[in-house]
Chain A
Amino acid sequence: MSFRRLLLAVTIAAVAAAGFYVGTPLSGQQQPAAYRPPRLPDGHPDLNGIWQALNTANYDIQTHVARPAMQLRPGPYGPVPAASVLALGAVGAVPPGLGIVENDEIPYKPEALAQKKKNQDSWTTLDPEVKCYLPGIPRAHYMPYPFQILQSTKAIFFAYEYAGATRNIYLKDPGPAPVDSWMGQSVGKWEGDTLVIDVTGFNDQTWFDRAGNFHSEQLHVVERFTRTSADHLRYEATIEDPQTFTRAWKISMPLYRRIEPNAQLMDFKCVEFVEELIYGPYRKNPLPR
């Protein structure tokens, strides 16, 4: 008996060792290039699908522990939820996250850092997401809503569930953006199997998260979308804005395919949902506040 057991154990160990050798990359690197994605007839990787981030970056793109609420006020023993969000209780808490910023540092100029803190303190009144405004780039990709990439051999288009935001990716540069906009002007090109999108022409109204991280109209974002498996995209964005930051900085995260067989964008026209907030005081008979 004991011999048979020993034999079994040895066999298992041998199989496990063999498996280890076969299954584990020797140098431990994580090269997305190893994956060969399905392609469109033009030879470019097929990015079509419905994608969504699975992180808490929309609360705060930097590493953060859980907080009692998105807007706080001093309490007798430390911060407590501000009156405007108190009723939400635990539902209104900020879940923790490891952040998406490279080296976890956003290189604000001193005066911009002060503005960031002001933004955070007045989150409910200042965050454009609260008013259902268009989200801008890169924020649209890590909000808690899916988005769809529609890619053909002639066009690439992004449709976002949140606020019905959209952007066409120009595959031929139309020149400088004729006017500033919330979603910017996007020009795409392929670098190998990576879709690189250069986004300019922003206004200064969008934020990066619910923690007050912001930018000016000099924002310039270069995004990189790379398929790393059947159901994953790697998303990277380099952010520069000489008016707000001392140098360019980078965010990155995986994006996950919504694999439900009936996955599709649904309506999230939040404009209707903020009418009471924005226009409620001008009703003939305003509701009590």
Chain B
Amino acid sequence: MRTHQLTSALVLAVIASWSASIIGQGSAGQSVRPRAAASTTIARTPDGQPDLQGLYDVATLTPLERPAAFGNTLSLTDEQARKLEQAVADRKERLALPSDGNRAAPPVGGDGSTGAAGNVGGYNNFWIDNGTQYVTVDGQKRTSIIVDPANGRVPALLPEATKRNAARLLQTTSDEQESSDPGLERAANAYDDPERRPLGERCLLGFGSTSGPPALPVLYNNLHQIVQTRNTVMIINEMNHDVRVVRIGGQHLAPTVRKWMGDSIGRWEGDTLVIDTTNFTDKTRFRGSSENLHVVERISRIDDKTLLYRFTVEDPTTWATPWTGEYTWPVTDEQMFEYACHEANYALGNILRGARQRDRESAAKRSENR
């Protein structure tokens, strides 16, 4: 079990700070246009549908949300992309150097850094597998996965959503805690019960919406496999071996049936697989959403090594407008590993035991002071 407290938000912050120093003049914001697939050349299943099957590694340096420094600029210039990718490569190479055996112990409480490889107990370079390149769509390196709204950011939460999520601070916690608001970690009672811990820490779903929908790139274990039968499309993500069986031409389940990853039905629009997902649980809470979350994914084949994954997220009780992202799924020849998260989840028990130890220590201190 790996602790799942590190957040893509933190990684994003690191990328943003590099970006700010490298960004000069960005290329102008491009409008997102629908793409016609080269329908005659792509591989097809015996049924004649585009063959989406394969194993994909979706790791990328492109963050979900665009660093503010890029404004409304959707694409990096080649020069910017080269510098940013080189900076990451240099950093990883530096971190991969042997450690100095005579180095001092880290300071109590950590070295103050917040990055994934920083602080005491955080992941070092070995664990991190978040890609080496920015996503390329239409020949352009992207500054963010989100393409709509134009600033590449998740729209602000509606006041009712903020209110609802604040009330949740006193209830169970969820994905929102890791991915969007580190402040929640400091909420009262955050360590009182297992149900207060993030879904990733509890091994209920991988963190950062790696399973989706929408499926997003995360810090590591970014593999997805697609198997396509006549009437289903199965999508599995490596972390935590979560399968979605999309029923082609199916009907949504009754609203009383709620699923962690929602209920997915699919249809073909030309050569694009369109997956419609509803019926989420009220515990899934993708980036602060409610159980009214509705995700539409569009998967199409760009070439024999690449899929385009596009998604639109809406929840009228959470955001005023839908928002859309897209990125590529490049094929990989890696092997998918069994991510047996729960079976070796020492972290969750230790986190709670640690909190109880802290409770005892502060109780002892209080009685001393009395």
Contact = CB atoms under 8 A, between A and B. Distances in A.
Interface in A173-188: 174, 178-179, 181-183
Contacts of A218: none
Interface stretch (A51-59, A89-97, A232-240, A267-275): A267-275
A148 B194 contact: no
A98 interface: no
A279 B228 contact: no
Contacts, number: 106
**Size class of the B contact interface (CB-based, 8 Å):** 35 or more
A133 B228 CA distance: 28
Given A159-B243, A283-B192, A271 B202 contact: yes
Nearest to B241: A166
Nearest to A272: B204
Contacts of A178: 335, 337
A45 to B, nearest CB: 14
A279 B194 contact: yes
B364 to A, nearest CB: 16
B215 to A, nearest CB: 16
Interface in B228-258: 228-230, 232, 234, 236, 240-243, 245, 247, 257
A86 interface: no
Contacts of B192: 283-285
B193 A283 contact: yes
B291 to A, nearest CB: 14
A103 interface: no
Contacts of B228: 152
Contact of B229 (A151, A269, A283): A151
A230 B192 CA distance: 53
A157 B232 CA distance: 12
B227 A183 contact: no
B353 interface: yes
A107 to B, nearest CB: 28
Nearest to B348: A279
B260 interface: yes
Interface in A256-277: 264-267, 269, 271-272, 275
Contacts of A153: 45-46
Given A152-B45, A266-B259, A282-B353, A205 B343 contact: yes
B358 to A, nearest CB: 11
A155 B340 contact: no
Contacts of A134: 338, 340, 343
A182 B53 CA distance: 25
Interface in B314-368: 335-338, 340, 342-343, 348-349, 352-353, 355-356, 359
Nearest to A206: B343
B299 interface: no
B241 to A, nearest CB: 5
B225 interface: yes
A164 B342 CA distance: 12
Contact of A150 (B191, B232, B259, B359): B232
Contacts of B338: 134, 181-183
Interface in A91-144: 128, 132-134
B234 A157 contact: yes
Contacts of B232: 150
A148 B260 CA distance: 18
B245 A264 contact: yes
Interface string B41-78: 00001100001010000000000000000000000000
B335 A174 contact: yes
A165 interface: yes
Given A157-B234, A164-B242, A267 B260 contact: yes
A155 B46 CA distance: 13
Nearest to A178: B335
B203 interface: yes
A265 B245 CA distance: 8
Contacts of A156: 227
Contacts of A279: 194, 348-349, 352
Interface of A: 40-42, 48, 128, 132-134, 148, 150-157, 159, 164-166, 168, 174, 178-179, 181-183, 205, 264-267, 269, 271-272, 275, 278-279, 282-285
Given A154-B227, A166-B236, A181-B337, 18 more contacts: A41-B46, A132-B342, A150-B227, A151-B229, A153-B45, A154-B53, A157-B225, A164-B243, A166-B243, A168-B336, A182-B343, A269-B204, A269-B260, A275-B194, A275-B202, A279-B348, A282-B356, A283-B352
14 contacts: A134-B343, A150-B227, A150-B234, A159-B234, A159-B236, A179-B337, A181-B337, A182-B340, A183-B338, A264-B245, A265-B245, A271-B203, A282-B194, A284-B192
